[in-house]
Chain A
């Protein structure tokens, strides 16, 4: 395990049904950390699909017009639409509202959770940078942004382990990450929870997809879309995305990576 040296603060809190960890290696005011966790609570208030009163649920029910929603919600909806077009519909937050697909009880009509966690974690990273932090990471349920380097006198980036899908205490790859975002989408943790918006059926063939790039919201959406596109269509599509590299682990235990992914591997 890594031992702490120098100043800094690390805090983990339960939110969004998962745990968010924030680790800053600079001297930083605790209020900035508090502000990040306040932000995560606001994101939950706006986007949770588990409560009927959030803006995203009201828009889904038709009781709130998107143009009357908060700027954050409009930003996320715009980004989701951009991702839907880029992925030829493999990423689509409105699958729950599609009348052509079999109804699934409990599914929200609008569910941007395939992007919003990454987006929110990225924003927290920006808050830390604006407060003067230069060496930190923020992670929530597999989505992370890592800035600078873990020790100020060390050349290597943050060592990020890609979770092994079937061995909980092992990793399938180790990456060196600095000033980049990493998103992993997978089927192994919460069951088959990634639905192909085009068929309404669970995505099949890939156990997990990890995407590295600058913007965590985009990396998050790309990982989800690649899972949905599956083993044949997914990785060629991901390889054609400029500035993003990825690694897919198939149900057949075959690992496929885009050509530029190796530069992040240790």
Chain B
């Protein structure tokens, strides 16, 4: 198996359908335990932040999209259902809803329940994700978690500044 979600089926659904679906219960139809809750002021159906010319030209489809399907534009909402994948933990199948290139919903259609660890996953940790816009903060901190800085960039990094201040 090459991918967690190898083949996909693409269905285009109307925006109105998504909106009414959201306002009716706030929960996805397929599963009562997996839901994307929008945080702060970013509604789930908001168009993604502009990425180049994405607003007017077809965006690239996700990596797991089957070649040959109609390219999506940023105004389209699509649900992508991955094929059911059997692995040593059981069968996994997820359904992702995208508005343009932004994920607005992820639903576990099938999760493993075949042995103990998988049961833990199924019952306690189905994909429940939240989305928000990136913010930058300037806060009092003790430690920085950043992608591996090189020795050269360390001196001008936040961690370097903290170490300097605490010497």
CB within 8 Å of B: which residues of A?
1-2, 4, 10, 12, 14, 17-19, 21, 23, 85, 87-90, 117, 137, 139, 141-144, 146, 150, 158-165, 167-175, 177, 182-190, 198, 204-205, 208, 210, 229-233, 235-237, 239-242, 249, 251-259, 262, 266
Q: A240 and B150: CB pair below 8 A?
A: no
Q: B147 and A89: CB pair below 8 A?
A: no
- Please indicate the chain B residues that have their CB under 8 angstroms from the CB of A163 in the complex: 144-147, 158
Q: A150 and B142: CB pair below 8 A?
A: yes
Q: B103 and A172: CB pair below 8 A?
A: no
Taken together as a complex, chains A and B put the C-alpha atoms of A242 and B131 apart, in Å, by: 20
Sample of 14 further A-B pairs with CB below 8 A, known A1-B161, A164-B134: A18-B151, A88-B87, A139-B143, A158-B142, A158-B143, A170-B137, A172-B137, A184-B146, A231-B62, A236-B129, A239-B106, A242-B120, A254-B132, A256-B103
* CB nearest to B48 among chain A residues: A252
* CB nearest to B54 among chain A residues: A252
Query: 3 closest pairs, A vs B, by CB?
Result: A186-B147, A163-B146, A141-B148
Interface status of B72 (Cβ within 8 A of chain A): no
A239/B128 contact (C-beta < 8 A), A10-B163, A158-B143 known: yes
Interface status of B153 (Cβ within 8 A of chain A): yes
Q: A171 and B139: CB pair below 8 A?
A: yes
Q: Looking at the complex, which one of B2, B129, B135, B148 makes contact with A172 (CB distance below 8 Å)?
A: B135
Q: B125 and A198: CB pair below 8 A?
A: no
Q: Looking at the complex, which one of A160, A241, A262 makes contact with B144 (CB distance below 8 Å)?
A: A160
CB within 8 Å of A: which residues of B?
1-5, 37, 48-49, 51, 62-64, 80, 85, 87-88, 92, 94, 96, 98, 101-103, 106, 108, 111, 117, 120-121, 124-151, 153-154, 156-163, 165-167
- Please indicate the chain B residues that have their CB under 8 angstroms from the CB of A186 in the complex: 146-147
Taken together as a complex, chains A and B put the C-alpha atoms of A158 and B157 apart, in Å, by: 19
Taken together as a complex, chains A and B put the C-alpha atoms of A163 and B141 apart, in Å, by: 11
- Please indicate the chain A residues that have their CB under 8 angstroms from the CB of B158 in the complex: 161, 163, 168-169, 171
- Please indicate the chain B residues that have their CB under 8 angstroms from the CB of A142 in the complex: 144-149
A236/B127 contact (C-beta < 8 A), A19-B159, A186-B146, A254-B134 known: yes
Q: B143 and A171: CB pair below 8 A?
A: no
Q: B129 and A258: CB pair below 8 A?
A: yes
A21/B163 contact (C-beta < 8 A), A232-B63, A254-B131 known: yes
- Please indicate the chain B residues that have their CB under 8 angstroms from the CB of A87 in the complex: 4
* CB nearest to B124 among chain A residues: A242
Q: A189 and B147: CB pair below 8 A?
A: yes
- Please indicate the chain A residues that have their CB under 8 angstroms from the CB of B157 in the complex: 168
Q: Looking at the complex, which one of B62, B125, B134, B148 makes contact with A232 (CB distance below 8 Å)?
A: B62
Q: A159 and B143: CB pair below 8 A?
A: yes
- Please indicate the chain B residues that have their CB under 8 angstroms from the CB of A256 in the complex: 103, 129-131
Task: Determine how close the nearest CB of chain A comes to the CB of B161; give it in whole angstroms.
Answer: 8
Taken together as a complex, chains A and B put the C-alpha atoms of A183 and B143 apart, in Å, by: 12
Task: Determine how close the nearest CB of chain B comes to the CB of A128; give it in whole angstroms.
Answer: 15
Taken together as a complex, chains A and B put the C-alpha atoms of A60 and B75 apart, in Å, by: 48
- Please indicate the chain B residues that have their CB under 8 angstroms from the CB of A266 in the complex: 139
Q: A185 and B147: CB pair below 8 A?
A: yes
Task: Determine how close the nearest CB of chain A comes to the CB of B78; give it in whole angstroms.
Answer: 11
Taken together as a complex, chains A and B put the C-alpha atoms of A116 and B4 apart, in Å, by: 24
- Please indicate the chain A residues that have their CB under 8 angstroms from the CB of B126 in the complex: 239-240
Q: B127 and A1: CB pair below 8 A?
A: no
- Please indicate the chain B residues that have their CB under 8 angstroms from the CB of A190 in the complex: 147-148, 150
* CB nearest to B132 among chain A residues: A255
A12/B163 contact (C-beta < 8 A), A88-B87, A158-B142, A168-B158 known: yes
- Please indicate the chain A residues that have their CB under 8 angstroms from the CB of B5 in the complex: 232-233
- Please indicate the chain A residues that have their CB under 8 angstroms from the CB of B108 in the complex: 236, 240
Taken together as a complex, chains A and B put the C-alpha atoms of A50 and B87 apart, in Å, by: 35
A2/B142 contact (C-beta < 8 A), A232-B96, A255-B133 known: yes
Taken together as a complex, chains A and B put the C-alpha atoms of A167 and B135 apart, in Å, by: 11
* CB nearest to A234 among chain B residues: B4
